[in-house]
Amino acid sequence: MLDEEVLDGRANYTLEDMDRHSLFHPLTSIATHMDKGPHIMDRGQGARLRDHSGREFVDCSGGLWCVNIGYGRPEIAEVAKQAILDLNYFHIFGSSSNEATIRLADKVLSLFHERANARHLKRVFFGCSGSDANDTNYKLVRYYANLRGTPEKKKIISRQGGYHGLTAAAARLTGIPSYHKAWDLPTADVIHTSCPHFYRFAEAGEDEETFCNRMIAEIEAIIEREGPDTVGAFIAEPIMGTGGVLLPPKGYFDRLQAVLDRHDILLIADEVITGFGRTGHWFATGLYGLKPDLVTLAKGITSAYFPVSASVVSERIWNVLEKASPEYGPVMHGFTYSGHPVGAAIGLANIAILENEDMVGHAGKVGAHLLAGLRQRLADHPFVGDVRGEGLMIGVEFMADRAKRRPFAPSSNVHRLVAGRAVEHNLMVRALPFIEVISFSPPLCITEAECDQAIERFGAALDSMTPELARLAIA
Ligand code: PLP
């Protein structure tokens, strides 16, 4: 609906105006949006985007870390068209099913079994977003506790800097303060332990091993303090994405899993970003030898050609659910679009492209090229502290004083300023909300030449901002 003021000026009513007056944007400052308006995208091809004014960008954000096979694949459009013509929708409640969804569940399990050595994963529950999949997992922790007769064992430990989505339960799990402000979060049933990011949070004199020891000791202390009988699960992104592309310290997950096993605590691996090839491995579960009880998937499962997510359930949980079924009746959880036949057909076609074009292997190789190129280009920059990553998940962390590892004041927003300047240089990267990090997560099909272009544009954008960063470093 247009308000009177807008209607009066209808002749000049642009798409930008229409956006300002009709669209409620997620993760957006209303004040800034009303002032500056939208940046409208029109087309995507491979790793490139074109906006409404005709400018072209290299998209090193991959949308939101999700367009794994790249933009504009005609094969997916064909599959979607045929799937819609065949069966645009039917639900999978109460044992209804459809071929594409059956095949996608089977495919996801075989990928975990064959490419991640995770043969204990046994069933796939579908949803529509990473957040709803984490809400499903949050509920399953409770359901499992109730069904197996340990109804007190429901608290979940998450990590500061962890990002698990923004629906009601997922937002509790998320450990980034800006997502909690004014939403009455966090809540007492989720405990956030320290962020295991060695580069930034190590104390004076700590090496990686002693830092890791401290992280694990803190988790053990939380379990003891809360009581092992009250802690049901631990949730972790194998590589933390939104928190700042934070790689685990060496040995972290082996040690963590031993602690969780000792206390009969489930591990939820949130692979929403790391799944489907982004790290140069099919799943980070395989990369780190994890044995998760639940895995969260979304994004790369369809490369964002359709909203699909999944909770992958281990044998341990499945056996409890199956055994209790006669007594408890149907599992009263699910969504209208769980197992959507069009989404599943797209998921299968997307995985076929990842496999047939060896995009996962390519992500490993081209990711190493991008990481090395960024490291070389930024090596002498006075305000770049660390450049790190795995595959096509790369982070650049800024420091006000890199010798002393003194961070910029959070209010300086340096990384947001740099990401904004990169847009002016026709490059999309993301400024992340936890610490001063910019992420690179392009489509896995990005070429070496496009990576070189991205490095050059990022370097130029950053150089043009050095005087401003120098001022902010003192402030
Ligand atoms: N989990 C992780 C690790 C994510 O990175 C995200 C989104 O970025 C989510 C969950 C939430 O996914 P969605 O935005 O699809 O709800």
pLDDT higher than 90, residue 9: no
- Compute the C-alpha angle 287/392/137, nearest 5°: 55
Are 205 and 405 spatial neighbours (Cβ–Cβ below 8 Å)?
A: no
pLDDT higher than 60, residue 36: yes
pLDDT higher than 70, residue 4: no
pLDDT higher than 90, residue 196: yes
* Alpha-carbon gap, residue 103 to 214, rounded angstroms: 44
pLDDT higher than 90, residue 302: yes
pLDDT higher than 90, residue 2: no
pLDDT higher than 70, residue 312: yes
Kindly state the average pLDDT of the residues 418-439: 98
pLDDT in tens, 144-187: 999 999 999 999 999 999 999 999 999 999 999 999 999 999 99
Residue closest via CA to ligand 1's atom 10 equals 164
- Supply φ then ψ for residue 244, to 5 degrees: 135, 25
pLDDT higher than 90, residue 316: yes
**What pairing do the DSSP bridges indicate for beta strands 231-236 and 155-159?**
parallel
Instruction: Place 5 in a pLDDT band, splitting at 50, 70 and 90.
Output: low
Are 159 and 346 spatial neighbours (Cβ–Cβ below 8 Å)?
A: no
Query: Which pLDDT belongs to residue 431?
Result: 98
pLDDT in tens, 369-397: 999 999 999 999 999 999 999 999 999 99
Whose tokens are 């140069």? That residue is 280
Instruction: Show the tokens assigned to 213.
Output: 């020891």
Instruction: Place 1 in a pLDDT band, splitting at 50, 70 and 90.
Output: very low
Q: Which atom of ligand 1 is nearest to the CA of 131?
A: 16
Instruction: Show the tokens assigned to 74.
Output: 């005609």
Instruction: Place 12 in a pLDDT band, splitting at 50, 70 and 90.
Output: confident
3-state secondary structure of 291: coil
- Measured from the Cβ of residue 160, the count of other Cβ atoms closer than 10 Å reads 17
Are 387 and 309 spatial neighbours (Cβ–Cβ below 8 Å)?
A: no
Kindly state the average pLDDT of the residues 62-74: 98
pLDDT in tens, 102-153: 999 999 999 999 999 999 999 999 999 999 999 999 999 999 999 999 999 9
Kindly state the average pLDDT of the residues 200-205: 97
3-state secondary structure of 94: helix
The chain-wide mean pLDDT, for the chain, equals: 97
Query: Sheet containing 437-440: which strands, arranged edge to edge?
Result: 384-390, 393-398, 437-440, 430-431
CA of 249 to the centre of ligand 1 (A): 22
Query: Which pLDDT belongs to residue 274?
Result: 98
Query: Which pLDDT belongs to residue 383?
Result: 98
What residues flank ligand 1, with Cβ below 6 Å? 64, 129-131, 134, 163-165, 237, 241-242, 270, 272-273, 298
CA of 272 to the centre of ligand 1 (A): 6
pLDDT in tens, 259-286: 999 999 999 999 999 999 999 999 999 9
pLDDT in tens, 206-229: 999 999 999 999 999 999 999 999
Q: Which atom of ligand 1 is nearest to the CA of 237?
A: 3
Are 354 and 360 spatial neighbours (Cβ–Cβ below 8 Å)?
A: yes
Q: Which atom of ligand 1 is nearest to the CA of 129?
A: 15
Give the residue, out of 131, 279, 432, with the most ligand 1 atoms within 8 A of its beta carbon, to mutate for a pocket test. 131
Give the residue, out of 272, 301, 308, 337, with the most ligand 1 atoms within 8 A of its beta carbon, to mutate for a pocket test. 272
